[in-house]
Amino acid sequence: MVSNQRKKNPPDGDGQNVVPLIKGRRATSYDVARLAGVSQSAVSRCFKQGASVSQKMRERVMKAAEELEYKPNAIARGLITQRSNLVAVLVSGRLNLYYPEVLFRLTEELSNVGLRALLFTVDSEDEAGAVVEQAWQFQVDGLISASHLSRDQYEILEKRKIPVVFFNRYFTDLPQDVVYCDPAAQVEEIVDRLKTLGHKKFALIKGPDFNMVNRERCALVRKQVESVSGSNLIEAEGDFSYASGAAALQDIMSAGSDRPTAIVCINDMMAMGCMDEARQVLGLKVPDELSIVSFDGIGMSQFASYELTTIRQPIGRMCKAAVNMVRARASAPDQSNEKRVFEGALIEGGSIAAAP
Site residues (CB under 8 A) for its own copies? 21, 23-24, 26, 69, 71-76, 78-79, 84, 86, 89, 93-94, 97, 99-101, 103-104, 107-108, 111, 116-121, 133-134, 136-139, 159-161, 242, 246, 272-273, 275-277, 279-281, 299-300, 303-306, 333
Nearer to DNA, 104 or 138 (CB): 138
Q: Closest separation between CB of residue 341 and DNA, Å?
A: 36
Contact call for residue 76 and DNA (CB under 7 A): yes
Nearest partner of 145 among 211, 87, 90, 86, judged by Cα? 90
Characterize the bridge pairing of strands 116-121 and 309-312: unpaired
CA angle 49, 52, 53 (to 5 degrees): 95
- Which member of 62, 77, 158, 182 binds DNA (CB under 7 A)? 77
Nearer to DNA, 7 or 159 (CB): 7
Nearer to its own copies, 55 or 137 (CB): 137
**Measured distance CA(204)–CA(194) in Å, rounded:** 14
Count the residues of the shown chain that bind DNA, applying the rule CB under 7 A. Answer: 33
Query: 72: number of CA atoms within 13 Å, CB side?
Result: 21
Characterize the bridge pairing of strands 345-347 and 309-312: antiparallel
Q: Which does 355 bind (CB under 5 to 8 A by kind): its own copies, DNA, none?
A: none
Nearer to its own copies, 134 or 196 (CB): 134
Which residues, in sequence order, are CB contacts of 84 under 8 Å at separation 6+?
74, 78, 138, 139, 140, 141
Which of the residues 79 through 98 are near DNA (CB under 7 A)?
79-82
Q: Closest separation between CB of residue 233 and its own copies, Å?
A: 26
Q: Which does 285 bind (CB under 5 to 8 A by kind): DNA, its own copies, none?
A: none
**Measured distance CA(309)–CA(275) in Å, rounded:** 12
What single-letter amino acid sits at 223? K
Q: Closest separation between CB of residue 116 and DNA, Å?
A: 15
Q: Closest separation between CB of residue 257 and its own copies, Å?
A: 26
Q: Are 288 and 198 in contact (CB under 8 A)?
A: no
Query: Can you give the C-alpha Rg of the chain in angstroms?
Result: 27
Q: How many helices (H) and strands (E) does the chain have?
A: 12, 12
Nearer to DNA, 52 or 336 (CB): 52
Nearer to its own copies, 108 or 189 (CB): 108
Nearer to DNA, 69 or 126 (CB): 69
Output the CA torsion 233→234→240→242 (10° steps). -130
Instruction: Give residues in contact with DNA (CB under 7 A).
Output: 1-4, 6-7, 26, 28-30, 38-42, 44-45, 47-48, 52-54, 56-57, 70, 72-73, 76-77, 79-82
